[in-house]
Amino acid sequence: MKVEKAAKQLEALGNPTRLQVYRMLVRAGKDGLAVGRLQDRLGIAASTLSHHLHRLILTGLVRQERQATTLICRANYPAMDALLGFLADECCVDATPAGARAGEAA
């Protein structure tokens, strides 16, 4: 994953409302949630929810699908996995190995 893409996704999740929406969708699983259900749970205006969903969709973290007259939103789990992997993959690669710290005897 490129740093720019990760930065955009993290920026989108940096808003408390968007983070709350995303967590609800992650918790909902593969079935996702209808936009109306999200709106009811959050207690925000439809236009506000639409704005936040749009940002999450643009960054690839959320997918939206129309089923008849209902819009279903789902977390994009491969995108979530890629972002988490980006953050964790290089954990401690630059750490000094135990026993090699300055002043320690070999």
Q: Tally the residues of the chain.
A: 106
Residue 50 amino acid letter: S
| Element spanning 74, H or E | strand 70-75
Contacting residues for 63 by C-beta, under 8 A, at least 6 apart:
57, 73, 74, 76
- Give the model's confidence band at 99: pLDDT under 50 very low, under 70 low, under 90 confident, else very high: low
Tens digit of each residue's pLDDT (9 = 90 or more) over 10-64: 999 999 999 999 999 999 999 999 999 999 999 999 999 999 999 999 999 999 9
Classified by CATH at the fold level, domain 3-86 comes out as Arc Repressor Mutant, subunit A (1.10.10)
Q: What is the pLDDT of residue 106?
A: 52
Q: What is the pLDDT of residue 97?
A: 75
17 φ, ψ to 5°?
Answer: -70, -45
